[in-house]
Structure 1
Amino acid sequence: MEGSLLQSVFIFLAFACLIVPVSKWAGLGPVIGYLVAGVLIGPFALGFISDPTTILHFSEFGVVMMLFLIGMELQPRELWKMKGQLLGLGATQVFVTTFAIAACVYVMGKYWGEAIVIGMALALSSTAIAIQIMQDRGMMTTEVGKSGFSVLLFQDVAVIAMIAILPALALPGGESVTDAAHGTSSGHGPAESHGPSGWLLGLSIFGVFGGMILSGRLLLRPLFKFIARMGVRETFTAMALLLVVGSALLMQWLGLSAALGAFIAGVVLADSDYRHQLERDIEPFKALLLGLFFMSVGMSIDFATLMQNPTTIFALLTGLIGIKFLILIVIARTAKMEKLSASLFAILLSQGGEFAFVLSQFALSAHAMTQETATIMNAVVALSMATTPLLLLLFDKIVAKRINTATLKTGPVPQDEGNNVLVLGFGRVGQMAARLLGTQDISATLIDYDGDHIELTAKFGSRVFYGDASDMDLLRTAGADHMNIIVVAIDNVDKTTRIVKDIKSEFPKAKVIARARNRNHMYDLLDAGVDFAERETLRGGLALGREALRYLGMTDERSEQVAREFLSHDFASIKESMEMREDEEALIAHSHKARDTIKQALQSDARHWGNTEET
C-alpha cells in the first residue's frame, strides 16, 4: 500500500499508538513496541510501507535527530566529573568487548577490518532500553544505575571516534570486503592501497568537530543572547534546528555523514547557557523521534535472511549475549560489585545497541562491511534488544524466589494492631523512615529492587522482599492486607502516584504516606488519595532558612516558630490551590494571596513576640 507522505506518517503514528502501549503494559518497554510496529508495517509483514526509499528517508531522519538529542546530553563538564567511571568501566567494556568479538569474527574468516567494525558495533549497548529500565525501577541512584550510566555514556562518546575511523578501515577502490578477504592467501591479509587515504578522511572528521566546537563557543553564545533579548521563544527552537540542518549540510558537503553533523551540533549546544530552554522546547518530540528511528529499524529487518539462516542467527544471538554478559560480569566484579548487582548490570548492557544500526550504515557507505554482513548483524542486534526484558523477568523471578522465600520462612506477618508498617523503596528516604521506626522497636517490612541491598538488610533481621513495588500481588505476599501504614518512598514520580492509587484501591484500610518530588506531585498524590505526603526538599529548605534567620539575630525559639507556621500555611495553601492548578492565572493570583497571608500572620506574631519580650 503506497501513498502520500501524509499517509505514511499516519500509518507510523497509528501503529505506534496501538502497539507501544501494549508493549509497555506487557513489561517489554516502548522500544520493543516501536520495533514490533516497524516490523508490522514494513515490507516483510503487512506491507503498508514497502518502498525502500520511503524507509530510507524515515530512517535517516530518525538517525539525525537521535544523534542530535544524544549530543545535547553530553556536557563536557559533566563528562570530566565522571572521568573515573567513564575511563574505568566504560573504556574497559568498549575495548575488551570490541577486541573479543573482533577476534571471534576474524577466526570465522572475515577480513580484519570488517571484524573490527563488527566488534565496535556489537560492543555498544542500547542506551534507550537500559536507561528506561533503570528509570522505571528507580535504579539511577544505585550502584548498578551509576555504573551502567557511565558505561552507556562512554559508549555514546566513543561512537564519534568509531565513525571517524571507519574510512581508515575501508578497502581501497570501493572493493567489496568479501572479495578482498578472499584475495589474500590467508583470507585476512592487507589489500593493495589505492585511492584516497582513509586516515585522511578520518582526521577530517576530528578537524571539523574541533572547528565546530570552537566556533560554537565564539559565535553561538552571543547569538543566543541576542535571541533571548528579542523575547521570541520559538526562535530558540528554530535556531537549534537551523544549527542541526546547517551542520548536517556541512558534513554532506565534505562527503561525510549528515547524522555526524547533527551529533556535533548537539554537543555544541550541550554547553550553551540556554541548553535547558532548548531541551524544554525539544522534549515533546524527543521520544517520538527516537520511536521513529526504532520503527524504521523494525521495517528494515530482512526476515527473508532470518528464515534462510535461523540456526546461524540464533547461534550469533546467543554468542553476542553470552560474550557481553561474561565480560560485563568480570568488569563488574573487578570493580567490587556484589554478585546480584553485577548480574543485573551485565543483563542491562548485554544487548546490542541502536548505534550498531548507525555504524552499519556508515560502514556500508565506507565499503568497510558487506551488505550481507550488515543485514545479519542488524537482525541479531534487533533480536538482542528483545531479550533484555525477558532476561530481566527471569532474573527477577530467580532472585525474588530466593529472597522472598527465605523471608517468608522467618515467620508470618505480625498481627499486632497499630505497629505494622510496610516501606516501599529502601533508598535514602526509605532507610531514614525505617531507622526512625526502629528506634521505637517498630520493625518495618521492606520492598526494594536492589537485590544486594535487600540481602544485606535481611542479615540484620529485617523482613525484606525483592521486587517491583507496583506489583500489588507482591505487596499482598509481604502482608499489605495486615499493614496499618504503607510508606511509599521510591523516587519515580509517576510510579509513586500509580502505586498510591492502587494501594488505596487494593488495601483501603492502610494509611498511605508518600514521598513527593515537588508541589505538582503533591497535587497528584492528594488526588490519588494519599493520607500524607512530604516534599523531599521541604524540610531541608526550611532548615536552611531557619539557620539564616538565626545568623541574622533571631532567637532559636522564634526561628523554630516561624518555620512551623510557614510549614502550616504552606500545607493549607496546597490544599486550597488544588482546584485551580490547571488555571495558571488563578494559581498565580492565589500564590500572591497566600504569600501575603503568611507574611501578615508572621508579622503579627513578630509584634506579639516583641511585646512578650518587653514584658
Structure 2
Amino acid sequence: MDHGAAHSFVAESAPLLGFALLFVLIFRRMGLGATLGYLVAGALVGPQLLGLVGGAESKMGIAEFGIALLLFLVGLELSPSRLWRMKRDIFGFGLLQVALCGIALSVVIGFGANFSLAAALALGLPLALSSTAQVLPMLQSAGRLRTPFGERAFSTLLFQDISIVPLITIIAILSRNPADAQGPPGWLLAIYTVAAITGLVLAGRYLLRPLFRLIGNWGERELFVFAGLFTVVGAAALMQSIGLSTALGAFIAGVMLADSPYRHEIEADIEPFRSILLGLFFLSVGMMLDLTAIAERPVFVLGMAAALIATKTVVITGLAMAFRMPWRQALGLGLLLSQGGEFGFVLFAQAQNALLIAPEAVSIFSAVVTLSMATTPFLMMFTKRFRADAVAVQGEREGPVSDGSNALIIGYGRFGQTVGQMLNAQGIAVTLIDTDIEMIDIAGQFGAKVYYGDGTRIDMLRQAGAGEAQLILFCLDGDKIEPELVEAVHESFPNASIFVRAYDRRALLKLKGGPAAGVVREVLESAIVMARKAMAAVGVDIEEIERTEDLYRRRDRERLRIQHEAGSLTAAREAIIGDPDLDWRPGRRDAPDPLEPKAATGSECG
C-alpha cells in the first residue's frame, strides 16, 4: 500500500467509524438494533449524501467475510448430532419456504412490474432469502437462538444459505450471456458441492482437530487466532473456487469443530473480527444504497418493499402454522424473516452478468432489500405486545390451577429450577408459574409442568392454590419484588411462609423487616463457595478458611443490621473486610482483632 492509499484509508476510516458509533448508539438506545444504525450511517457518509467515504464496492468485498465468520461461529454452536435432529426443519420447512416465497415473489414482480419470466425469476428467487446477518444477532441478543422458535428460524436461514448453490445454477441456466455457456453444467456443480463438503468434513476431523490440539499444548493464544482465521478463510476459499457460497463453507468448518474441546477458545478469538466485519458489511450496504433511484421512483420502491414484506410474512406464517406452530409464534417467525437478505445483492449481480436484468433494476431492487431490512426492528418492536400478551387470554397456555401443592414457585429460571428440584427431592409437591413462553416450552421437554401466569398477582396466586400452600417462593430475576407485594401476599395467605430471591444488597435491605420468612441474595452463597475454593487452591488451611467465612458472615450480618437501622447503604463502611494494605488474616499473632474497624473497600451492592 503506497502512502497515498494509506492516507486515504486513514482519512476514510475516521468518519466511517465515527458515524457508525454515533448511530449504533442512538438506535441501540431506541431499541431498534445495531443493523439499522449501520445502514443509516453508511448512507450518510456514502457518495449519495455527504460523500465522506467512497469505494463501497471494495469495502463490501472485505465485509462479506464478516458473514462467513458469523456462519462459522453459528456452526461452532451446532454439533453434528444436533444438526441431524434439525433435519426436518432444515430440509422440510426451509425448502418449502424458499420455493413458495420465491415463486410468489416472482409472480408479484412479473405481474406488478411487467418483467419477463426470466427477469422475474432472477429477482423473485433471491428475494425469498432473508438476512442471516441481521436475524441471527437479533435472536442471540434476545436469548432465543437455542429455543424451539430460534431453532426453526435458524434452520430456515441455514437452508437459505445452502440454497445459494441451486439459485446460482438456475440463473446460469437462464443466462443470456454467451460466456456463461462455457461454465460447468448444474449437475457437475452439484458434484463439486458434495465433494467440497466431504473434503471439509475430512479436513476437520483429520487436520483441524490435531492442529488445534498441538496449538493447545503449546499454549500460544496468538496461534489460536491465526488458526481460527485460517480455518474460516480456507473453507470459504475452497467453496469460492468452485463458485459456491463462502458462508456455507465457513459454516461446515464450524460444525466440524463444534464438539471439540477448543470450541470456546476459538469462538472467543474469532468473535471480535466477526463483529467488526459484520458492521462494515452493513455500512457498505448503506453506502451502496442508490438514493437517486429511490428518489426517481419512490412509490415503486416503497410499494415493492411493502409487497416483499407482506408476501413473505403471509407465506411463512401460513407454512409455520401448517407445521403445527402456534399462530402467534408463526406470525413472529413470518415478520422476523420478512426482509430481503444480503445474499440478494450477490444474486442480483449474478443476474446482471447473465444479462437477465439491467443495472437500473439491480439498483432499485437493492434499495428494496435494504429498505425491507430497515423495517424488521420496527415490525418486531411494534408487534411484540400483540404477539405475546394474548397468549393466556386465548387459552393457548394453561394457567395455574389449585392441585394441592405444598409450594408455589414463581419464576422457573436457573434459580427456580434448583429450588424446585430440591423440594421435589423431599416429596414436596410444587406448582411452577412463569410468563416466559420459551422457558415453559423448554421445561416441558424435560418433563416439568410450568403454568403460564403472572405470579405477582394476588388473584393468580389464589387460583394456583396459595390459600392451601405452605410455601410461596418468589424466584424471579431482577429487582422485581417490592415490600408492598410481600405485605399483600402475607395478608392474603397468612398460613404460607414467603421466601424471596433478592437481586442484591439494596433489594435485601428494602425487604428486611417485612413478613418474608427468608430473603436470599442470589449470588452470596455461590460467591462464598468460590472464595473458599480459591483459598484452598493457594494452600490456606481448612480451619483458617472456616474462620474467614465465619468472620465475613458475622461482619455482613452486622452491616445489614446497622444499614437497616440507619436507612442508608453507606452505613457501617468500616466493617468491610478487604484492605489490601492490612493483613487481617485470622490466626496471625500480629493480626489485629477481627472485630476492630477496618478501612472500607469493596462493593456496597453485593
| Same fold, TM-score > 0.5, yes or no | yes
1:317 and 2:305 matched = yes
Structure 2 matches for 1:133-532, cutoff 5 A? Answer: 133-140=138-145, 142-163=147-168, 165-173=170-178, 195-197=182-184, 199=186, 202-203=189-190, 205-206=192-193, 207-246=195-234, 254=241, 256=243, 260-261=245-246, 263-272=248-257, 273=260, 274-365=262-353, 367-398=355-386, 423=410, 429=416, 447-448=435-436, 464=453, 487=474, 489=476, 499-500=478-479, 513=501, 526=504, 532=520
Per-residue deviation at 1:286?
2.0
Q: Which secondary structure state, in structure 2, belongs to the residue aligned with residue 44 of structure 1?
A: coil
Structure 2 residue corresponding to 1:33, chosen from 9, 14, 37: 37
Change (3 A) 1:452 1:440: closer
Change (3 A) 1:533 1:12: farther
- Residues 266-298 of structure 1, C-alpha deviations (whole Å, 9 max, x = no match): 523430334443222111222222111111111
Contact 1:68 1:264 in 2 (8 A): no
- Matched residue type, 2:384: D
Change (3 A) 1:507 1:308: farther
Supply the distance in 2 between the matched residues of 1:376 and 1:289 (Cα, whole angstroms).
25
1:5 equivalent in structure 2: 9
TM-score (norm 1): 0.65
Per-residue deviation at 1:35?
1.3
Q: Which secondary structure state, in structure 1, belongs to the residue aligned with residue 49 of structure 2?
A: coil
Change (3 A) 1:105 1:598: farther
- Residues 236-268 of structure 1, C-alpha deviations (whole Å, 9 max, x = no match): 22133334445566667x5847xx446424523
Q: Which secondary structure state, in structure 2, belongs to the residue aligned with residue 4 of structure 1?
A: helix
- Residues 281-321 of structure 1, C-alpha deviations (whole Å, 9 max, x = no match): 11122222211111111111111111111111111111111
Supply the distance in 1 between the matched residues of 2:168 and 2:389 (Cα, whole angstroms).
44
1:82 equivalent in structure 2: 86
- Residues 138-159 of structure 1, C-alpha deviations (whole Å, 9 max, x = no match): 4445543332232223223333
Change (3 A) 1:143 1:173: same
State the percentage of identical aligned residues: 30
Per-residue deviation at 1:347?
1.6
- Residues 64-109 of structure 1, C-alpha deviations (whole Å, 9 max, x = no match): 2312430453354432121122223222212211222223334444
- Matched residue type, 1:151: T
Supply the distance in 1 between the matched residues of 2:394 and 2:208 (Cα, whole angstroms).
60
Supply the distance in 2 between the matched residues of 1:443 and 1:46 (Cα, whole angstroms).
61
Q: Which secondary structure state, in structure 1, belongs to the residue aligned with residue 501 of structure 2?
A: strand
- Matched residue type, 1:267: I
Supply the distance in 1 between the matched residues of 2:201 and 2:412 (Cα, whole angstroms).
42
Contact 2:23 2:38 in 1 (8 A): yes
| Structure number with higher helix proportion | 1
Paired residues, number: 488
Supply the distance in 2 between the matched residues of 1:289 and 1:507 (Cα, whole angstroms).
48
1:65 equivalent in structure 2: 66
- Residues 350-378 of structure 1, C-alpha deviations (whole Å, 9 max, x = no match): 22223323333444455554322222222
Supply the distance in 2 between the matched residues of 1:100 and 1:41 (Cα, whole angstroms).
36
Change (3 A) 1:463 1:323: closer
- Matched residue type, 1:313: V
Q: Which secondary structure state, in structure 1, belongs to the residue aligned with residue 163 of structure 2?
A: helix
1:103 equivalent in structure 2: 107
Q: Which secondary structure state, in structure 1, belongs to the residue aligned with residue 37 of structure 2?
A: helix
Supply the distance in 2 between the matched residues of 1:426 and 1:262 (Cα, whole angstroms).
35
After TM superposition, the structure 1 stretch with the greater mean CA deviation from structure 2, 138-147 or 320-329, is: 138-147
Change (3 A) 1:283 1:197: closer
Q: Which secondary structure state, in structure 2, belongs to the residue aligned with residue 532 of structure 1?
A: strand
2:514 equivalent in structure 1: none
After TM superposition, the structure 1 stretch with the greater mean CA deviation from structure 2, 194-203 or 379-388, is: 194-203
- Residues 571-593 of structure 1, C-alpha deviations (whole Å, 9 max, x = no match): 6334x58xxxxxxxxx9556555
Contact 1:137 1:449 in 2 (8 A): no
Supply the distance in 2 between the matched residues of 1:387 and 1:115 (Cα, whole angstroms).
23
Q: Which secondary structure state, in structure 1, belongs to the residue aligned with residue 340 of structure 2?
A: coil
Contact 1:16 1:37 in 2 (8 A): yes
After TM superposition, the structure 1 stretch with the greater mean CA deviation from structure 2, 398-407 or 291-300, is: 398-407
Q: Which secondary structure state, in structure 2, belongs to the residue aligned with residue 572 of structure 1?
A: helix
Contact 1:434 1:444 in 2 (8 A): no
- Matched residue type, 2:105: I
Per-residue deviation at 1:485?
9.2
Q: Which secondary structure state, in structure 1, belongs to the residue aligned with residue 367 of structure 2?
A: helix
- Matched residue type, 2:252: V
- Matched residue type, 1:33: G
2:128 equivalent in structure 1: 123
Supply the distance in 1 between the matched residues of 2:141 and 2:231 (Cα, whole angstroms).
33
Contact 1:338 1:452 in 2 (8 A): no
Per-residue deviation at 1:443?
9.4
2:578 equivalent in structure 1: none
- Matched residue type, 1:61: I
Supply the distance in 2 between the matched residues of 1:403 and 1:269 (Cα, whole angstroms).
37
Supply the distance in 1 between the matched residues of 2:144 and 2:108 (Cα, whole angstroms).
33
Supply the distance in 2 between the matched residues of 1:204 and 1:356 (Cα, whole angstroms).
24
Supply the distance in 1 between the matched residues of 2:114 and 2:71 (Cα, whole angstroms).
35
Supply the distance in 2 between the matched residues of 1:450 and 1:251 (Cα, whole angstroms).
36
Per-residue deviation at 1:29?
1.0
After TM superposition, the structure 1 stretch with the greater mean CA deviation from structure 2, 197-206 or 237-246, is: 197-206
Change (3 A) 1:157 1:228: same
Change (3 A) 1:331 1:364: same
Per-residue deviation at 1:331?
1.1
Structure 2 residue corresponding to 1:23, chosen from 20, 27, 30: 27
Supply the distance in 1 between the matched residues of 2:473 and 2:40 (Cα, whole angstroms).
38
Supply the distance in 2 between the matched residues of 1:248 and 1:308 (Cα, whole angstroms).
38
- Matched residue type, 1:289: L
After TM superposition, the structure 1 stretch with the greater mean CA deviation from structure 2, 525-534 or 240-249, is: 525-534
Q: Which runs of 5+ in 1 are unaligned?
A: 175-192, 408-420, 454-459, 467-473, 490-495, 515-524, 536-567, 578-586, 602-615
CA RMSD in angstroms comes to 4.9
TM-score (norm 2): 0.66
Change (3 A) 1:430 1:301: farther
- Matched residue type, 2:62: F
- Matched residue type, 2:11: Q
Supply the distance in 1 between the matched residues of 2:485 and 2:363 (Cα, whole angstroms).
52
- Matched residue type, 1:288: I
Contact 2:63 2:280 in 1 (8 A): yes
Supply the distance in 1 between the matched residues of 2:439 and 2:254 (Cα, whole angstroms).
39
Supply the distance in 2 between the matched residues of 1:303 and 1:68 (Cα, whole angstroms).
30
Contact 2:410 2:473 in 1 (8 A): yes
Q: Which secondary structure state, in structure 2, belongs to the residue aligned with residue 351 of structure 1?
A: coil
Per-residue deviation at 1:341?
1.9
